[in-house]
Amino acid sequence: MNLPLILLLALPLVHMAVLPRLFARAGLTAWHGYVPGLNYWTLLTMLKRPKHWIVPLLFPGPNLLMVSILHVEMGIAFGKRSTAEQWWFGALPWLALPRLVFADGSAFVGPRDWSKVKKGMMREWGEAILWATVVASLIRGYVFEAFTIPTASMEDSMLVGDYLVVSKMSYGPKVPETPLSLPFVHNAIPGTNLNKSYLEWVKIPYSRLPGFGEVDRYDAVVFNFPNGDSIVVDPYLAGHDYHALIRQRAIGFAGGDPVAFEADRERYNAMSRKDWQRTHGIKARPIDKKEHYVKRCVGLPGEDLAIVDRQLMIDGVVVESPPGLQYNYLVRLKREADLRAIRERLGLTDIDIQGKGGGGTYFMALRDDEVQLLEEGGLVADIQPMDVTSRRGTLDMYPNTNKFDFASWDLDNYGPIHLPKAGETIALTPRNVVLYRRVITAYEGHDLRVDGDVVMLDGLPATEYTFQQGYYWLMGDNRHSSADSRYWGFVPEDHVVGRASFTWFSKMNEAQHGESGIRWDRMFKAVK
């Protein structure tokens, strides 16, 4: 346990030691200072502050700001009103409060009365900004948060340029695991080389407050990207799959041969990490500071999932697809001039038309109804689904190995794969070790290695493993253009942030869409 965390945990004890004596000086009931909760209620009475101020005190993050404000107010109420003294109480209450009680003996003079004194403009603005920060941090951390769609992985249901409101109450808001953080900034200080906007001096174990429900199939879920536990220090690459970047460069060091890479994976990965560190730098991130992703939940804990010829199967049974799924097609036009008519009729943008091949062919992301319209409308000479079998054997597909049957998996034919649920026990077979190694080590914090035919778990031989939490499977609606669970695997329960509720603003941009403008028809549209 580090010093900052010790100091933070010591604050309630300091309060219980000093508040009874301060209450007695103020003519209030002294024993209230010993009762958690009641002591802060009485403190607000002493300071003549609104009782609703107690609400931010209940939530990690905002409570750090509120406690600092109250410390300063306590000093003021006992005559410590100079700027230096206010900083003293705000920054070092562990020293200032005991000194006020046991050494100073200052009498209670009451909170500053501003009714007869005009506050300066700087103080007015400072107090307004400080209180707004507390309220906004409370709402952003525990109620809802804004989120922007940066990629086309969820087209056609969520579009690049959509600004979403994410409900954290849907599944219960997560308590911040790294509460010492700049307000309104997720993980990096703007305008810097991805410098951290948070301090890891204090870390709170994972916990979640009660919510309205649980993750259900086909919910649009916002989550912390599991493979974002480390990043390459580059604004463009920071949101990418760090482990895929390491693996791709490592395969390059192995002469571009996945088989040679797998034969000496640790050595080539070490070479890759050293090279990325040299050229860009590498940083680690805690769970709640990983990048935010949004995908659709297609598999729930305890289920067996498979994809057969694009069709999702759960526990061996075909399940109905959500509306708006897109796949990539190779479209050959009858005439080049027909491209404009296709764009206008289907409302396609440059994001949907992903490139041009030879012989008048285009790569297009299309829904089933759009494919049918093109076939029946006579605008195309031929339209064929994109062949994705080239992904097989490349180590792109999770669990990113060619061992066992994993080499035959691709985007359209994947699995079967079992999604663990909390408390479930599995046998540690060679196949399961490969499939769940990252879950057991990275997400559940155990040491796992194989010594010959013996599996060693935390240094001891083991034949089975019991999972500590549930795991979800998430995929994008733009199935051929989505970096999702098929590439990087399971989404742990403690990574789930909330549910995408509605689009409050939407705008196209010239660089990605080939045109710009506000999408008025998507304003305040519910996410389905």
Cβ pair 420, 439 in contact under 8 A: yes
**Nearest of 476, 466, 499, 495 to residue 214 by alpha carbon:** 499
Cα-only R_g, the chain:
28
The whole-angstrom separation of Cα 432 and Cα 478 is 29
Which two three-digit tokens encode residue 198?
A: 């948070």
So what's the pLDDT on residue 359? 73
So what's the pLDDT on residue 103? 85
Alpha helices in 51-120 (DSSP H): 62-77, 83-91, 93-99
The whole-angstrom separation of Cα 244 and Cα 453 is 28
Distances (CA, A) of 450 to 144, 442, 455, 457: 44, 16, 5, 9
> Angle, nearest 10°, between helix axes 38-47 and 3-25?
60
Count CA atoms within 13 Å of residue 41 on its CB side. Answer: 8
Which residues have a Cβ under 8 Å from the Cβ of 81 and sit 6 or more positions away? 75, 112
So what's the pLDDT on residue 521? 84
**Nearest of 14, 3, 202, 193 to residue 96 by alpha carbon:** 14
Identify the burial level of 100 via C-beta atoms within 10 angstroms of its C-beta, where 0-12 means exposed, 13-18 middle and 19 or more buried. Answer: buried
The tens-digit pLDDT sequence of the chain (528 residues) is 577 778 888 899 999 999 999 999 999 999 999 999 999 999 999 999 989 889 988 888 888 888 999 999 999 999 998 889 999 999 999 999 999 998 888 899 988 876 666 767 776 787 788 778 888 888 999 999 988 877 777 777 777 888 899 999 999 999 999 998 988 889 999 989 899 999 998 888 999 999 999 999 999 999 999 999 999 999 999 989 999 999 999 999 999 999 999 999 999 999 999 999 999 999 999 999 999 999 999 999 999 999 999 999 999 999 999 888 999 999 998 888 888 888 888 888 888 887 777 777 899 999 999 999 998 888 888 999 999 999 999 999 999 999 999 999 999 999 999 999 999 999 999 999 999 999 999 999 999 999 888 999 999 999 999 999 999 999 999 999 999 999 999 999 999 999 999 888 888 877 677 777 888 888 888 888
The whole-angstrom separation of Cα 192 and Cα 235 is 10
Residues in the chain: 528
Judged by DSSP in three states, 125 sits in helix
User: Please, what's the b/e burial string for 450-474 (b: 16 or more CB within 10 A of its CB; e: otherwise)?
Assistant: eeeeebebeeeeeeebebbbbbbbb
Q: Which domains does the chain have, with CATH numbers?
A: 3-140 (no CATH), 142-304+398-526 (2.10.109.10), 305-386 (3.30.70.250)
> Angle, nearest 10°, between helix axes 62-77 and 83-91?
140
- φ, ψ (nearest 5 deg) of residue 497: -100, -50
Neighbours of 198 (CB within 10 A): 22
Distances (CA, A) of 199 to 142, 196, 232: 20, 8, 19
Element (H, E) at 475: strand 471-475
Cβ pair 112, 76 in contact under 8 A: yes
Alpha helices in 420-523 (DSSP H): 430-438, 485-488, 510-513
Interior CA angle at 179 toward 178 and 185, to 5°?
90
The whole-angstrom separation of Cα 489 and Cα 241 is 11
pTM over 0.75: yes
